[in-house]
Amino acid sequence: MGTSLAAAAAPMPGPVRLFWRGFAENRGAVLGLAVMLVLLVVAVLAGQIAPYSPIEQFRTHFLAPPAWAPGGSTAFLLGTDDVGRDLLSRLIYGARLSLLIGLSVVALSLSTGTVLGLAAAFAGGVVDVAIMRFMDVVLVFPSLLLAIVIVAILGPGLFNAMLAVAIVTLPSYVRLVRASALSELARDYVTATRSAGASTPRLMFSTVLPNCAAPLIVQASLGFSAAILDAAALGFLGLGAQPPTPEWGTMLAGALQYYQRAWWVLAFPGFAILATVLAFNLLGDGLRDALDPRLRR
Amino acid sequence: MTEAPLLQVDGLKKYFPVRTGPFGQVTGQVQAVDGVSFALSRGETLSVVGESGCGKSTVGRSILRLTDPTAGEIRLDGERIDTLPPRQLRAVRRRVQVVFQDPFSSLNPRMRVREIIAEPLVNFGLARGRAAITERVAALLDTVRLPGEAMGRFPHEFSGGQRQRICIARALAPGADLIICDEAVSALDVSVKAQIVNLLADLQAKLGLALLFISHDLGVVEHLTHRVAVMYLGRIVELADRASLFGAAHHPYTRALLSAVPLPDPAARRQRIILSGDVPSPIDPPPGCRFHTRCPFAFDRCRSEAPALREVGPGHVSACHLTHEPGEALALPAAATGGA
C-alpha cells in the first residue's frame, strides 16, 4: 500500500551497503578480504591448480631450489622438500587444510560458546557461576600448553588438534556472548518482547543473539587466524596433522633441520601461515570498525 | 463501581535483598514497595506519581510479572496473577502490556517495524499468514497515526515520538485490556508529549483501555488521569480522584509535590513547600511515618506510629496523622515555607 511512497522517497542505504561503505574505507581490511578470497579459490580448486600430487616424491629432485634461484627449474616453481615433493603443490593443498581447520574450529567454538554464554546470561545464579568459573579455569593455562595437554590425552592427529584448539579458544566466545547478552538483556526492548509473549528460546536466539552478532563476527574472524596459528603450532610440535599430510605447520617441522642448506622449505610454509593469519586479522579489524554500532546510525 | 475492578492490587510488597561481602550474604533488604493497594477499572486511568526511587516502576513491573512480588496479591478480573505458573502467565501477558520511558532502547534495533508489531501477534497466535499479519499491523499503525509505509523501516529511522507510537502499537497488538505506561512520555519534547498523551486518551476512549500511568510529571498527569496515587518510599501516601488531588490535596508530601509544579502564569503566587534533605534509604526506612524526616508539619506521633490510609473525603484516602481537612491550609510550626 505504501510501497509507492517509499520508492519515491530518497532510498535509505540498506544495512549491507552501509556496512560495505564502512568496510571499504579500510584498505587493510579489503586486502585481507582479497587474500582470503584467493585462498578460498586456491583451496577449492587445489586439485586443478596444483602441478603435482602433494605426496608424490621425485627421487631425482631432493631439495631442489625455487625456479628463480641458481640450480632451480621451472618444473618445481617453489622447489622441492627433503624427500622430493613439490613445495607449491603441498602449499596449495595445505591451504585447503588450513581453511578447513579455521572453519571447523571457529564453527565448533562459536556454536558451543554461544549456547554456553547465552545459558549463563539467561539462567544466572549457579548455572552462570558454574559455566564462567569453568571458563576461567580453561583461561588460567597458557592456551598452547593446554592444547598440548589435550592432544596428549586424546592422541595426536589433525582432528584431535582441532578439538583441542576449539576447547582452548572457547572461553573468549563464552565471555563475549555472555557480556553482550547481559547488556542487551538490561534493555527495554527485551523486556517488551518478553511481555509480548516470547518464549525464552525465542528471546535468546531471535531477540538477543542478533544484537550480539557484531562482536561475535569480529571475534570469529580473529579466531579463524588464531585457530590456524594454533593448529600449525601443534603440527609443528608433531601433535597435529601427521606427515605426509601437507599441513603448513607439519611441513615446517619436517624441514627444520634443512634451514641452512635449503631456506625455501622453511620460508614458503612460514610465509603462507603469516599471510593467512595476517589476512584474517586485517579482515577482523575491518569488520570490527565497520560493524561497530557506535560509529553507525 | 459495582462490577469487579479490572486490576486489584492488595498489600503488594517487593523487597530486594542487599548482598555484601565476598560471599554475598544478605545483609539487608531494599523495601522498594511496601504494602501498596489500589484498584483500577476498565477505561480508567490511574496515575502513580512520586520521585525517583519511590517504587512506582517496581509496582508496574510486579503487575507485569517482570519481577515476582515478595508479598501481596495482584488480581486481574478477580483472578490472582501473582502466583500463576509461567504457562498460564502467557494469557495474562496478552492482556497486560507495557510502554517504556526510553523509546530508543525499547525497540529491537535489528527488527523492522512490521516484525516488531507482529511479534505479539505471532507469539500469542492472534494472526496467521503473511497477509493477515500485514493487515493487522497496518491497522495498528493507522490507530497510532503512523503511515503504513513505516512497516518496512527500522526503528532508528524514526523520531522519539514516532518510536513511542510504535511502542503503543505493539502494546495494543495483542488486544490488551491494561497498558502500563512507565514514564512513557517523560523522555519526549513538550509538543510531542502532548501528542502522545492525547493519543493515549483517544485510544482509551475508543478501546476502553485501562491505563496505569507511572510518572513523575504532575503537569502531564493532571491532563490525562482519572485518579492519582502518590507514592513515597514504597508506600502510597495519598490516593484521590484528579479534582480532589489537584484541588484539595491532603498529605503534606502531595502538597509539596504540587507546589513544585511550574505554573504557566508568571503572575501567579502560591504557598510553596520546599522539602529539605534527601529521601531516606529504602534499606533502612525511618520508623513511624516514612515522610516525617522531611515533613515540616511532623510531630511526635509521626516519629513512632505509621499512619494508615484513612478516608478524608469521598474516594480520597491519605496516610497522615494530621487532622486537617483536605485543601485546608496548614499552620507551620516553624519557618519552613518559602512564600514565593
SS (H, E, C) chain A: CCHHHHHHCCCCCCHHHHHHHHHHCCHHHHHHHHHHHHHHHHHHCHHHHCCCCCCCCCCCCCCCCCCCCCCCCCCCCCCECCCCCEHHHHHHHHHHHHHHHHHHHHHHHHHHHHHHHHHHHHHCHHHHHHHHHHHHHHHHCCHHHHHHHHHHHHCCCHHHHHHHHHHHHHHHHHHHHHHHHHHHHCCHHHHHHHHCCCCHHHHHHHHHHHHCHHHHHHHHHHHHHHHHHHHHHHHHCCCCCCCCCCCHHHHHHHHHHHCCCCCHHHHHHHHHHHHHHHHHHHHHHHHHHHHCCCCCC
Taking an 8 Å cut-off on Cβ atoms, the answer to whether B149 and A2 are in contact is yes
For residue B236, give Cα distances in angstroms to A19, A31, B11, B183, B231: 51, 65, 11, 18, 4
For residue A182, give Cα distances in angstroms to A123, B320, B326: 11, 43, 48
- The three three-digit cell numbers of residue B259, written as one number: 507546589
Separation of alpha carbons B324 and B252, rounded Å: 11
Residue B199 contacts by C-beta under 8 Å, 6 or more apart in sequence? B144, B145, B165, B168
Residue A291 contacts by C-beta under 8 Å, 6 or more apart in sequence? A19, A22, A214, A215, A217, A218
DSSP annotation string for B284-301: SPPSSSTTTTT-TT--HH
Separation of alpha carbons A296 and B311, rounded Å: 56
Residue A96 has pLDDT above 60, yes or no: yes
What is the rounded average pLDDT of the residues A207-218? 86
Look at residue A157 in the predicted model and tell me its pLDDT: 86
Beta bridge partner(s), residue B110: none
Residue A9 has pLDDT above 80, yes or no: no
Domain that holds residue B285: 226-340
Which residue bears the cell 492519582? B228
Q: How many beta-carbon pairs under 8 angstroms link A with B?
A: 74
Separation of alpha carbons B40 and B213, rounded Å: 11
Q: What ipTM was estimated for this complex?
A: 0.78
CA distance B16 to chain A (A): 15
- Facing A195 at nearest CB: one of B64, B102, B157: B64
Residues of chain B with pLDDT under 70: 1-3, 268-271, 331-340
Residue A11 has pLDDT above 70, yes or no: no
What is the rounded average pLDDT of the residues A96-108? 91
CA distance A171 to chain B (A): 24
Taking an 8 Å cut-off on Cβ atoms, the answer to whether B100 and A199 are in contact is no
CA distance B184 to chain A (A): 12
Query: How many domains does chain B divide into?
Result: 1
Taking an 8 Å cut-off on Cβ atoms, the answer to whether A192 and B157 are in contact is no
Query: Do B2 and B23 contact (CB within 8 A), yes or no?
Result: no
- The three three-digit cell numbers of residue A75, written as one number: 618444473
Q: Is residue B262 part of a domain?
A: yes
Q: Is residue B168 part of a domain?
A: no
Q: Is residue B259 part of a domain?
A: yes
Q: Is residue B256 part of a domain?
A: yes
Give the helix ranges, DSSP H, for B127-207. 130-143, 160-172, 190-207
Q: Is residue B241 part of a domain?
A: yes
Taking an 8 Å cut-off on Cβ atoms, the answer to whether A194 and B66 are in contact is yes
Using the CB atoms, write b or e for A78-98: b if 16+ within 10 Å: bbbbeebbbbbbbbbbbbbbb
What residues does each domain of chain A span?
Answer: 31-291
Pairwise pLDDT comparison (B330 vs A294), residue with the higher score: B330
Helix (H) or strand (E) holding B92: helix B86-95
Q: Would you give the DSSP letter of residue B84?
A: -
Separation of alpha carbons B293 and A189, rounded Å: 38
- Facing B149 at nearest CB: one of A5, A195, A199: A5
- Facing B106 at nearest CB: one of A3, A189, A293: A189
Separation of alpha carbons B326 and B250, rounded Å: 4
Query: Do B35 and B260 contact (CB within 8 A), yes or no?
Result: no
Nearest chain B residue to A11 by CA distance is B153
- Facing A188 at nearest CB: one of B105, B110, B148: B105
Is A193 part of the contact surface with chain B (CB cutoff 8 Å)? yes
Taking an 8 Å cut-off on Cβ atoms, the answer to whether B107 and A6 are in contact is no
Q: What is the CATH number of the domain that holds B281?
A: 3.40.50.300
Neighbours of A256 (CB within 10 A): 10
What is the rounded average pLDDT of the residues A15-42? 86
Helix (H, G, I), strand (E, B) or coil at B189: coil
Taking an 8 Å cut-off on Cβ atoms, the answer to whether A207 and B108 are in contact is yes
Separation of alpha carbons B21 and B204, rounded Å: 49
What is the rounded average pLDDT of the residues A96-124? 92
Q: Is residue B215 part of a domain?
A: no
Beta pairing class for B210-215 and B178-182: parallel
What is the rounded average pLDDT of the residues A261-270? 88
End-to-end CA distance of chain B: 41
Separation of alpha carbons B277 and B279, rounded Å: 7
Q: Is residue B54 part of a domain?
A: no
Helix (H, G, I), strand (E, B) or coil at B48: strand
Angle at B94 between CA B88 and CA B96, to 5 degrees: 105
Q: Is residue B310 part of a domain?
A: yes
Any idea which architecture A31-291 has in CATH? Orthogonal Bundle (1.10)
Which residue bears the cell 516519629? B303
